[in-house]
Every structure is written in C-alpha cells, then in structure tokens.
Amino acid sequence: MIKKQIINEEILKSIDSNYVYNNEPINRFKKLNEPENIKLQLENLKNKISLIDNCDLKNNAKKMVFSDGNIKSQIMIVGEGPGEKEDEIGKPFVGDAGNLLNKMLSAININRESVYITNVVNFRPPNNRKPTSTEINRYSIYLRDHILIINPKILIIMGSTAMEALVGNNIKISKDRGKWKEIIIKNKTFTSIVTFHPAYLLRQPDQKKYSWSDLKEIRKKIDELNINI
C-alpha cells in the first residue's frame, strides 16, 4: 500500500510538478439550461408517442401532431385531436377550428404564438371521429407528462375529450365550463378551466356567448397571476 502510494507520487512528479492530484470523481454531466432541458424532455416524450403500437389512430394518420407554440409559456391549451389539415401539416389547430381559436385568443389580447398548444390524441382519428375512451386513456398518460414538462400556470381544457382526459367523464361540459379547477398530476396542482371547443362553436354559434364569458375569466386570471404574455 505504502509502496504503491510512493510509486504514484513518483510518477506524478516525473510528469509535471505543477499538477496536483485530485481524488474527486470527474462530473461528466453538463447542466442544461431550462429551455434546453424542456426541449430534451419534449423530444423524449415525442419519441415515446411515436413508439405507441397497436393503435388505429396512429396506423391511419399521415403525421404525428405533437404541439405548437412557446415551450416556455405559462398558458397551455389542450384540444381534442388533429383534423385533416393538422394531419397534413403536422401542427395542431391550423384549420377552421384553429382560425377561430386564434380569434378567441386575440379577443383577450393573447397572441397564439405566445401560448403552448397540444391535443389529447396526437394522431388524426379516421373521418374526424371523436376518440374513444380507450384511446383517450391511452394518450392521456402522455398528455399528463406533457403538462408536467410545460408546467403551465393556467391550463385551458377545450371540449369534452380534453375534459374526459383530465377531469373525468362524470361531469357535463355545459354545466362545468367556466369554473376554475385544481387538477393534480403527480403531486403537482394545475389551475385549470374547461371551456367549449372552437369546433363545437363553429357548429353551435349561439354558444359563443358562454365562450366569451370563459375567455374573460381567463384574461382575469392571467392578470391576477401576473402572467407575462
């Protein structure tokens, strides 16, 4: 033992006397800054979703539609699933419902680019049918992880599919919309509101008055929480 130490010291001296031997292990991990870290986690999640198998949605769709917007946003919107245009382009809310969503946001002084947008299911359901409960449950595991990564201060849940994925299916959207709820995901609490889906409003324009009241609630909360948008 003593002999070995002497030999090591001898070797060190012979190399360069200015070096001091440090017994600490080298830390090879680079500390990522926050946006780099979020990007990496999102890439991992995207990868996991692309590996889902035995799913009719995935097998029939052209593209995966993951998300759009600002990954550092404190506002996250969850819709239902891609339609035809979204499936072509690979981005959520780029068709007629997307145009209405953009208008709804700008009515409360929010720029679409400053929020983060995703859907419950990441592949277009055939003929735009509503995702089944099995599909909603399958994808809501990833949706929950998605929410944890973005960590929004306000979660906007649009339509009955997103409501089923995040709140459950024992409430009615017409009764429960416009009310603030705390949604807990892995011990983290998210301030959330359920509101009508823009595609529903296109079919039922008489319901826009309720949507407007929800949008004003959302604006109020943004100001209350001092959210930079």
| Non-local CB neighbours of 188 within 8 Å, separated by 6+ positions | 148, 151
Interaction of residue 163 with ligand URA, rule CB under 6 A: no
From first CA to last CA, the distance across the chain in angstroms is 65
User: What are 145's two structure tokens?
Assistant: 């992880």
Binding mask 50-79 for ligand URA (x = CB under 6 A): -----------------------------x
Q: Does 152 bind ligand URA (CB under 6 A)?
A: no
Which residue has its beta carbon closest to ligand URA?
79
User: Is the CB of 69 or the CB of 92 nearer to ligand URA?
Assistant: 92
Q: Measured between alpha carbons, how far is 140 from 216 in angstroms, rounded to an integer?
A: 28
How far, rounded to the nearest angstrom, does the alpha carbon of residue 227 sit from its chain's CA centroid?
Answer: 18
When binding is defined by CB under 6 A, the residue of 45, 87, 93, 100 that contacts ligand URA is 93
Give the pair of three-digit tokens for residue 204. 């039922």
Site for ligand URA (CB under 6 A): how many residues?
Answer: 13
d(CA 68, CA 112): 9
Cβ-proximal residues to 228 (8 Å cutoff; 6+ apart), any chain: 74
Secondary structure (DSSP) of 182-223: EEEETTEEEEEEEE--HHHHHH-GGGHHHHHHHHHHHHHHHH
- For ligand URA, the closer of residues 83 and 178 by Cβ is 83
Q: Does 86 bind ligand URA (CB under 6 A)?
A: yes
Tell me whether residue 101 or residue 215 sits nearer to ligand URA (CB atom).
101
CB contact at 8 A, 57 and 97: no
Least distance in angstroms from the C-beta of 103 to ligand URA: 14
199 binds ligand URA (CB under 6 A): yes
150 binds ligand URA (CB under 6 A): no
**Smaller CB separation from ligand URA, 93 or 196:** 93
Q: How far is the CB of 140 from ligand URA (least distance, A)?
A: 14
Q: Binding of ligand URA at residue 178 (CB under 6 A)?
A: no
Phi, psi of 195 (to 5 degrees): -145, 170
Which residues form the interface with ligand URA (CB under 6 A)?
A: 79-83, 86, 92-93, 95, 97-98, 119, 199
